[in-house]
């Protein structure tokens, strides 16, 4: 006994026409299905008896939407171009490339007039991935752009189905046109493209050097360019009144934003050139943290947002945006202003 189409929905509905007879175009030179043409809504939306016109004359569809249609075809039925007629117009969203469309369908072989399969008989709607390389060309052309809730009659010529060979295993005659009556029940939008993998973090700041602020301590680096300390010349203000965030190297990477995980190397020192209380360089391990969620002191959240990956940023942070009156014993006394030099190595 011939296997049911619902068990072979991939071969019949999803395999491109290149899998048909020898006259069917190959993937490299395949002609695409003709643009579907709508001959008009047959007998009014939802009419229980619809008699398509034009190229689909000879096809009769009986039955209310949301119930199994009865499809009869005056065999032998042939059609020259993929043609779609709306029996009932849905009011849902239009389906598009990449969507997964849930359907109920009846498929009839035009040459014999025999019903090849009805998903209604199994009680299981069939999900179709709406992609040109996943569906028979005529089926793809007939469904794309139609509204959820619609009932469609799609006439598919042999060249947009199984060509001159047909598909005897599935009951499709050679050179046979297909008639496909589809109810579009639901749409799941195409998934968002996967994000590009995050670039490997830099080893240190890379970019265009900038003139350092002359009213702040300067950064002293070693022969490899690694920050070692801040050096004051005595002209700096006694206290840091407002947050200063100045890049002394501007990287050409993307700007970092709140919510991202940012990778940095840093050195922290009491203002203006007091004790170094923390540095990742010495540990040889950069810090990963989420920006803008309060996981670091406010001076970091505010001063680093909007800076670019690859930058080296000097931060002068007033006490109220650092550790405030409590300090961070034993290394940071109460009400201490702080200096940081931060290399932004990556963000994702």
Residue 203 bridge partners (DSSP): none
What's the CA gap between 321 and 302, in Å, rounded? 9
Question: What is residue 113's DSSP assignment?
Answer: -
The rounded mean pLDDT for the chain is 86
Residue 32 above 80 pLDDT?
no
| Residues 18, 303: Cα–Cα separation, whole Å | 59
Give the model's confidence band at 343: pLDDT under 50 very low, under 70 low, under 90 confident, else very high: very high
Architecture (CATH level 2) of domain 208-347: Roll (3.10)
- Per-residue pLDDT of 44-100, as tens digits, reads 344 445 556 678 988 999 988 789 999 999 999 999 999 999 999 999 999 999 999
pLDDT, tens digit, 9 for 90 and up, residues 256-272: 999 999 999 999 999 99
CA atoms of 101 and 130, how far apart (whole Å) = 7
CATH class of 5-188: alpha beta
- For 146, half-sphere exposure in the C-beta direction (CA atoms, 13 angstrom radius) is 34
pTM over 0.85: no
The model's pLDDT over 216-267, given as tens digits with 9 standing for 90+, comes to: 999 999 999 999 999 999 999 999 999 999 999 999 999 999 999 999 999 9
Locate CATH 3.10.50.40 in the chain: 5-188, 208-347
Burial of residue 140 (CB within 10 Å: 0-12, 13-18, 19+) is buried
E-only strand ranges, the chain: 49-50, 59-62, 70-73, 83-88, 100-109, 115-118, 126-129, 151-156, 178-188, 208-209, 218-221, 227-231, 244-250, 261-270, 276-279, 287-290, 312-317, 338-347
Question: 63: which DSSP letter?
Answer: S
What pLDDT is recorded for position 201? 93
Decide: helix, strand or coil at residue 242: coil
CA distance 250 to 59: 69
Cβ atoms within 10 A of the Cβ of 191, count? 9
Measured CA to CA, the distance from residue 330 to residue 5 in angstroms comes to 76
Please check the confidence at residue 333 and state whether its pLDDT lies above 70: yes
Q: What is the pLDDT of residues 271-319, one digit of tens each?
A: 999 999 999 999 999 999 999 999 999 999 999 999 999 999 999 999 9
């Amino acid at each position: 006994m011939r296997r049911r189409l619902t068990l072979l929905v991939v071969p019949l509905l999803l395999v491109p026409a290149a899998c048909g007879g020898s006259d069917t175009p190959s993937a490299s030179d395949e002609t695409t299905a003709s643009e579907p043409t709508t001959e008009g809504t047959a007998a009014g939306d939802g009419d229980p008896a619809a008699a398509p016109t034009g190229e689909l004359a000879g096809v009769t569809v009986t039955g209310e939407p949301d119930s199994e249609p009865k499809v009869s075809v005056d065999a032998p039925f042939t059609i020259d171009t993929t043609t779609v007629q709306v029996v009932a117009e849905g009011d849902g969203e239009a389906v598009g490339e990449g969507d997964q469309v849930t359907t109920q369908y009846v498929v009839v072989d035009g040459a014999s007039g025999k019903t090849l399969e009805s998903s209604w008989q199994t009680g299981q709607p069939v999900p179709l991935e709406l992609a040109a390389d996943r569906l028979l060309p005529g089926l793809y052309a007939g469904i794309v752009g139609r509204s959820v809730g619609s009932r469609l009659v799609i006439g598919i010529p042999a060249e947009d189905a199984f060509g001159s060979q047909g598909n005897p295993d599935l009951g499709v005659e050679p050179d046979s046109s297909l008639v496909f009556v589809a109810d579009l029940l639901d749409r799941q939008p195409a998934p968002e493209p996967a994000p590009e993998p995050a670039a490997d973090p830099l080893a240190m700041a890379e970019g265009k050097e900038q003139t350092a602020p002359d009213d702040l301590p300067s950064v002293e680096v070693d022969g490899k360019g690694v920050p070692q300390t801040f050096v004051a010349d005595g002209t700096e203000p006694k206290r840091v009144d407002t947050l200063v965030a100045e890049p002394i190297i501007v990287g050409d990477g993307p700007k970092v934003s709140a919510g991202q995980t940012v990778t940095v190397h840093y050195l922290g020192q009491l203002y203006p050139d007091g004790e170094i209380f923390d540095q990742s360089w010495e540990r040889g391990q950069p810090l990963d943290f989420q920006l803008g969620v309060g996981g670091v002191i406010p001076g970091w959240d505010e001063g680093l947002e909007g800076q670019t990956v690859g930058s080296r940023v000097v931060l002068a942070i007033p006490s109220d945006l650092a550790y405030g009156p409590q300090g961070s014993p034993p290394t940071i006394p109460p009400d201490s202003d702080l200096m940081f030099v931060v290399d932004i190595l990556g963000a994702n």
